[in-house]
Chains A and B, each alone.
Chain A
């Protein structure tokens, strides 16, 4: 292989969705035709999606990028001398210096887009497995303390301290214990879990192994939504490789501890992202939400003590252990410590993952980093935290990205997604969609969620049509109160966030002169 020039093309699903496979094939064909020694490496994505497919070439000046490239651009790239990092219309210079990337604090995403996701050698060479080594030296109790000290809070939505959860499982009686990774990633506008599974799966495996040793668990599950076939394949293959290398299986990494992980595929139910519903789903049942207590930490999968964490929570543990709790906790603000992979999505110019310390304002993220809308029209609303999250108007763009600051404004950070809308958005339609989604995805246990959501759709339709508006507005607000207080989980309980934020911040959209347009 000596002398071969390394060319990197992502195999991340979003890159594939815009033609990365065709680009990779064209590069291989063109190199063969010109008899040039090229070694194609398939990576995850850097998360700069407006530049995908992003091709990188290893040069003496580091990795130089070209994008967004199409297969048709490939002969021209060769002609221009891209293998030497030379100029071309798509030339982006050294990738690490692209401001969007240079401004980030990549801790959890340190390797994503850089390495071949299925090369353990590359993983090790880029600092992989150092966290596990340190955890083995510290021992289980001290490992849990280290995670507590890091201030890491659950990245799945609720923001519960991860270390405290682990401590509860560690101290719980009962065997076997389980570690479940929540990779259901149901929120529209989020893709961080998917990117790690497709771009750095060993990082998750390492995080889960640390969790297992710290809590005394012997079996793990990664529950991946079925809408992620590429992630399921890459994760399955990574598990096989980790098993072959002794990182999973008996006596993992020489620890004396046995631990293995299995992939389970979801089946298209949003509610199965809720942790107790997920446990039922893994057990082979309908994904009904369980009342808490008992907590999964005491009475979880198959009735046994279970750690259930979001994928990003688990994938953040290796770097916390490797660099130390303090290094991680030094980032952030208030009670939001460390970094968050913020996901900029929807109608945004620079869509992608932006991992940063907590504390940037929403406006900085959307206008400055995201560059405003893709359509070039003004930004009107941003939905933060998925389908159960509030719509923020520009007037609230001074809100710092912090769990508590968002909560104070009746919003939530959730899993870190931000969906940007331009001024063509109809907020009454968005409120109606929130109700529709709740009705469609309800597990059916609570009447307000199951029935009230359909009712909510009808009430919004009447408001839009101009039928007894004031009366129906009051009815909608009452319905939201009932949902909020009469629901067992956040599907019913938080649907009022998008609905009420639309109504409160964009009342004009509910009071337009009725047009002939149906809301559908």
Chain B
């Protein structure tokens, strides 16, 4: 895939074909679509609706219900900062506010060059090494402070 933000019809068809016979195939399909295109493109929703014999409204209802699914592509990297109680108790809200201010972003915003989107997350299960965050839904970091977090954000913007 040359450009992961771009929709690709064949890739969509492959993903649908890989799951369509599973019971409750819609969520697994949506997860794979988002992994491939960094969002759920409208064209993909149309194809899924057809394949699963559902209306487009039904697909859209599911996409909009779950916080994970996005209808617009995120930046190249997504940094999710835990804002739940355990991280709150260790200053997670202040830490996030400082980073957002530094980057000039609101929650959900993406830096100008399109490199980094910052979002809240409500618990990563890293509650005894708080405050915690996760980069690109994979790299976990704990015991964060302002310096570590700023370095992580900078690294992601450069990558």
B129-148, CB < 8 A from A: 129-130, 132, 134, 137-138, 140-143
Bound-complex Cα distance A392 to B127 (A): 18
Closest to A443 in B: B65
Binds B, one of A13-21, A404-412, A483-491: A13-21
B residues contacting A by CB (< 8 A) are: 23-28, 30-31, 52, 61-62, 65-69, 84-90, 121-130, 132, 134, 137-138, 140-143
A224-250, CB < 8 A from B: 226-231
Name the distance in Å between A189's Cβ and chain B's nearest Cβ. 5
Closest to B141 in A: A17
Indicate if the CB atoms of B127 and A191 lie closer than 8 Å: yes
Cβ contacts under 8 Å, A189 to chain B: 85-86, 127
Bound-complex Cα distance A231 to B62 (A): 24
Cβ contacts under 8 Å, A190 to chain B: 123, 125, 127
Asked whether any CB of chain B lies closer than 8 Å to the CB of A258, the reply is no
Cβ contacts under 8 Å, B28 to chain A: 264-265
Indicate if the CB atoms of A18 and B122 lie closer than 8 Å: no
Asked whether any CB of chain B lies closer than 8 Å to the CB of A352, the reply is yes
Indicate if the CB atoms of B125 and A433 lie closer than 8 Å: no
Asked whether any CB of chain B lies closer than 8 Å to the CB of A347, the reply is yes
Indicate if the CB atoms of A185 and B89 lie closer than 8 Å: no
Indicate if the CB atoms of A347 and B129 lie closer than 8 Å: no
Among the listed B27, B125, B127, B138, which residue makes an inter-chain contact with A351, where contact means beta carbons less than 8 Å apart?
B127
Bound-complex Cα distance A186 to B124 (A): 9
Decide if the interface of chain B is mainly helix, strand, loop or mixed.
loop
Cβ contacts under 8 Å, A16 to chain B: 140
Bound-complex Cα distance A229 to B123 (A): 13
Contacts A17-B141, A433-B85 given; does A346 touch B65 at CB 8 Å: no
Indicate if the CB atoms of A14 and B24 lie closer than 8 Å: no
Indicate if the CB atoms of B134 and A264 lie closer than 8 Å: no
Interface residues on A, range: 35 or more
Among the listed A227, A285, A419, which residue makes an inter-chain contact with B85, where contact means beta carbons less than 8 Å apart?
A419
Closest to A381 in B: B89
Indicate if the CB atoms of B128 and A187 lie closer than 8 Å: no
Name the distance in Å between A168's Cβ and chain B's nearest Cβ. 23
Cβ contacts under 8 Å, B140 to chain A: 13-14, 16-17, 230
Indicate if the CB atoms of B126 and A14 lie closer than 8 Å: yes
Bound-complex Cα distance A248 to B24 (A): 21
Binds B, one of A144-152, A420-428, A463-471: A420-428
Bound-complex Cα distance A49 to B87 (A): 15
Indicate if the CB atoms of A285 and B62 lie closer than 8 Å: yes
Contacts A14-B142, A374-B90 given; does A345 touch B128 at CB 8 Å: yes
Cβ contacts under 8 Å, A118 to chain B: none
Bound-complex Cα distance A402 to B155 (A): 46
Cβ contacts under 8 Å, B134 to chain A: 227, 229
